[in-house]
Chains A and B, each alone.
Chain A
Amino acid sequence: MTISRELANAKARLLVDAARELRRTALAWLEPQPR
């Protein structure tokens, strides 16, 4: 199947936004905290 360029680009941007948010929050949460 094909989807529109606009929808494909919007979903690709969503991936980038999600990665940015995860780098900002989840990774800090997962990294070992200093004792």
Chain B
Amino acid sequence: MRTQEQIGLDLLTDGEQRRTGFINHILAAFDGVDLTHEAVKAIYRRRALERSVPRVVGKIKRNKPAIVDDLRFAKAQTTKPIKMAVPGPMTVIDSTLDETYNDEGAMAMDVAAALNEELRDLQAAGCDVLQIDEPAMTRYHEKVFEYGARALDRCLEGIQIPSIVHLCYGYPGGAGQQHEYEYPELLQELMKTKIGGFGVEFARSNYDPAVLSICKGRLVMFGCVDPSDTPVPPLASVVTRVREALKYIEPKISCSLPTVA
């Protein structure tokens, strides 16, 4: 956190050093999830990868706060605003093996209710920005239409502070891009929800930022630097990329890190 301050970032994270993975630190606070006896899942965000994932063995329900103490710790270290992140319902479903629901829509709504409790507690504890990580949304647009957008709204019930849904495509070193789907139809669908804004990836994807013109009245966290192990790009190229996007979004600039673990 001190490094983030010294570098001059406007919106800090707690560093997320306590995270044991992308979702496990949140699932550890949920009933119905077995984090000890994992299972192999062959399809993972539409990559041909076998992953060892937690098993869903019962009805999902939050039994304790997951990262509220992490927020309190972070707030004690800085006067800068803090962003906290949780995985979204679709990403939880994609990153677990369901042995209970056999109905992704029903499971998504239970995960969303559990996440809503966590987000409400983070809001009450003084969090400045909430981020919901949903990389699964960029891979499964059909599921966003089916239940993902509805589950996102359920996560946000009672939330008044700024919220962002993080829609990256992943950035595995050297792996091929994963852009079977593109942003336009996804953003159009999510504009129907209560989400406060979008964290979107434009450096590695090299998409045309004109798609952002539909995001009127929402925050845009514009990904302008590839966070993988690629070399640091020239400053001028980043400035040019953002300047191009500013033709389509409200020009109010701050900087923060994406999800890091």
Interface residues of A, Cβ cutoff 8 Å to B:
1, 3-4, 7-19, 21-23, 25-27, 30
Contacts and interface: CB of A to CB of B under 8 A. Distances in A.
B71 interface: no
B232 A18 contact: no
B60 interface: no
A21 B232 contact: no
A14 B253 contact: no
A30 to B, nearest CB: 5
Contact of A19 (B173, B229, B254): B254
Given A3-B227, A18-B242, A25-B239, 10 more contacts: A8-B260, A11-B232, A12-B9, A13-B7, A14-B225, A14-B238, A15-B255, A15-B257, A18-B235, A19-B254
B253 A19 contact: yes
A26 B235 contact: no
A17 to B, nearest CB: 6
Contact of A7 (B172, B232, B254): B232
Contacts of B172: 1
B242 A14 contact: no
Interface residues of B, number: 28
B9 A17 contact: no
Contact of A15 (B9, B228, B229): B9
Contacts, number: 71
B21 interface: no
Given A1-B229, A3-B227, A7-B232, A22 B253 contact: yes
Nearest to B238: A18
B9 A14 contact: no
A27 B172 CA distance: 34
A26 to B, nearest CB: 5
B246 to A, nearest CB: 6
Contacts of A14: 225, 232-233, 235, 238
Contacts of A12: 3-4, 7, 9, 257
Nearest to A6: B232
B243 interface: yes
Contacts of A25: 239
A15 B226 CA distance: 11
Contact of A22 (B173, B225, B228, B243): B243
